[in-house]
Amino acid sequence: MRISHEAIYQALYVQGRGALRRELTACLRTGRTLRVPRARTRGLGKGFVTPEILISQRPATVLDRAVPGHWEGDLIVGLGSSAIGTLVERTTRFTLLLHLPPMPEHGLYPREKNGPALAGHGAEAVRDAITRTIVSLPAQLRQSLTWDQGAEMSQHARLRIDTGLKVYFCDPHSPWQRGTNENTNGLLRQYFPKGTDLSVHSATDLAAVTLALNTRPRKTLGWHTPAEALNEVCMLCKQRQCRDIKLSAPRTPSGC
């Protein structure tokens, strides 16, 4: 007998007319007590997302994880509009965290409509944070980035110019299309619980959490760590570069 995961979720959430019982809530990493059918989450996309950059246009090679360098990204949001950016490489599960501190004026004045994103995770701040972080990697590991349709990614065209990353967007309200990133965000909530102020965490704090996550053995990697998997990929990239240089170098005539 086989039971789908959807049937299990429905059986859990059916108690209390759709509300999960309080004693079960504590067992959920997300803390979500209500289940929302996917049909209700369908909506219109953002104006900066055009058909040619939707996830349906992403190369099929990204899906099978055979080629490294394809990333998934998102924001985890906390109290007071605080946020931390997350980037996860699909093949190695290597995680990078983006430090997004609020601007000094945040909280001092009422937010102006269409004013600057003082909370620290506006489009410009997110673009700069991704650029600073991702350009430290070899070009072979900067293939693509898949994000949801949040306004923080409205400067994706400039991001592509600065980093070489091809940016693709998920369908509206479809987090399962970034499954690797969603799973990682769930793990990160053990370090950054919901309902807490994420702005109190410094860049050093984020580096410590990144280290803990990337040195954690993963079953999907054959019990290797993401750091080990990424290191192996980088070594292969260097070997290919050396081979290409040797092949492109002019050959010395025999006898010289």
Tokens for 231, please give them. Answer: 């290191």
Residue 252 domain-assigned? no
What does the alpha-carbon distance between residue 33 and residue 194 come to, in Å, rounded to a whole number? 13
Residue 244 domain-assigned? no
CA atoms within 13 A on the CB side of 73: 31
- Write out the H or E segment, with its range, that includes residue 169: strand 166-169
* Same-domain status, 120 and 184: yes
CATH number of the domain where residue 122 is located: 3.30.420.10
* Same-domain status, 31 and 47: no
Question: Residue 240's pLDDT is what?
Answer: 72
* Same-domain status, 19 and 57: no
* Same-domain status, 111 and 56: yes
Q: Are 176 and 146 in contact (CB under 8 A)?
A: no
Percent of the chain as helix, strand, coil, to the nearest 5: 45, 15, 45
Question: Residue 186's pLDDT is what?
Answer: 94
> How far out from the chain centre does Cα 231 lie?
20
Residue 245 domain-assigned? no
Please provide the distance, in angstroms rounded to a whole number, between the alpha carbons at the two ends of the chain.
Answer: 75
Residue type, 187: L
- Please give the chain's pLDDT, 256 residues, in tens: 788 877 777 776 666 555 566 666 667 666 666 666 555 444 455 678 888 999 999 999 899 998 999 999 999 999 988 999 999 999 999 999 999 998 766 555 666 655 556 677 899 999 999 999 999 998 899 999 999 999 999 999 999 999 999 999 999 889 999 999 999 999 999 999 999 999 999 999 999 999 999 999 999 999 999 999 999 988 887 777 666 666 666 654 544 2
Residue 253 domain-assigned? no
73 to 36, 45, 172, 192, 197: CA distances (angstroms)? 23, 17, 15, 17, 21
What does the alpha-carbon distance between residue 134 and residue 119 come to, in Å, rounded to a whole number? 22
* Same-domain status, 20 and 119: no
Residue 198 domain-assigned? yes
Residue 246 domain-assigned? no
Residue 250 domain-assigned? no
- Kindly report the backbone phi and psi dihedral angles of residue 15, in degrees, each rounded to the nearest multiple of 5, phi listed first: -70, 135
What does the alpha-carbon distance between residue 64 and residue 66 come to, in Å, rounded to a whole number? 5
* Same-domain status, 6 and 67: no
Number of domains into which the chain is organized: 2
Residue 251 domain-assigned? no
Question: Residue 41's pLDDT is what?
Answer: 47
* Same-domain status, 112 and 142: yes
Structural domain range at position 197: 43-238
Total-model pTM? 0.76
* Same-domain status, 94 and 24: no
